[in-house]
């Protein structure tokens, strides 16, 4: 007796696509979360700018923000997890990501290249986030 298997390639593709998208969003948000552990902090505008567009809780204290801080934050576009973009979005973000000496006054873990430091430090956690989100996303397509 011969058995013929006819896979539903459309459904398989839809499941893989859903899993990939769920993974992309979860990993991007985790990169923001782990990067913010090491982000430079003065008034918190830089960290807050990366939270825009995410579902992460915003716990940044804004009581000491100047008019310029508020302007920088209000003009920030933030991160784009659906497209895999973790973005610290201030006029000075690129400069302070690569240069200078981060003050450790408010954040003792502050580092240059904070996003990379977060990825390197939390690699195992990011792998688990990716795996779990992909599996969950696979199950979302019936």
Short-list 79, 86, 96, CA closest to 43: 96
H-assigned helices in the chain:
9-38, 45-51, 67-74, 93-98, 114-121, 123-138
Domain ranges of the chain: 9-138
The whole-chain average pLDDT of the chain stands at: 95
Given a contact cutoff of 8 angstroms between Cβ atoms, the answer to whether 138 and 16 are in contact is yes
DSSP secondary structure letter of residue 81: G
- CB under 8 Å to 111, separation ≥6 — which residues? 38, 102, 117
User: Each residue of 58-107: pLDDT tens digit?
Assistant: 999 999 999 999 999 999 999 999 999 999 999 999 999 999 999 999 99
Claim: this prediction has a pTM higher than 0.85: yes
Each residue's pLDDT tens digit, 42-71: 999 999 999 999 999 999 999 999 999 999
- pLDDT score for 140: 79
At 139 the pLDDT is 87
């Amino acid at each position: 007796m011969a058995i013929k298997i006819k896979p539903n390639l459309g459904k398989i593709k839809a499941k893989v696509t859903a899993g990939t998208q769920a993974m992309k969003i979860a990993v991007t948000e985790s990169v923001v979360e782990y990067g913010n552990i090491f982000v430079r902090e003065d008034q918190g505008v830089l960290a807050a700018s990366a939270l825009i567009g995410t579902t992460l809780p915003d716990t940044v204290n804004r009581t000491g923000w100047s008019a310029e801080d508020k302007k920088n934050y209000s003009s920030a576009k933030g991160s784009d997890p659906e497209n895999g973009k973790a973005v610290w979005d201030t006029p000075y973000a690129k400069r302070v990501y690569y240069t200078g000496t981060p003050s450790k006054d408010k954040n003792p873990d502050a580092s240059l290249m904070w996003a990379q430091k977060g990825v390197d430090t939390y690699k195992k956690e990011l792998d688990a986030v990716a795996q779990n989100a992909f599996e969950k996303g696979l199950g979302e397509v019936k």
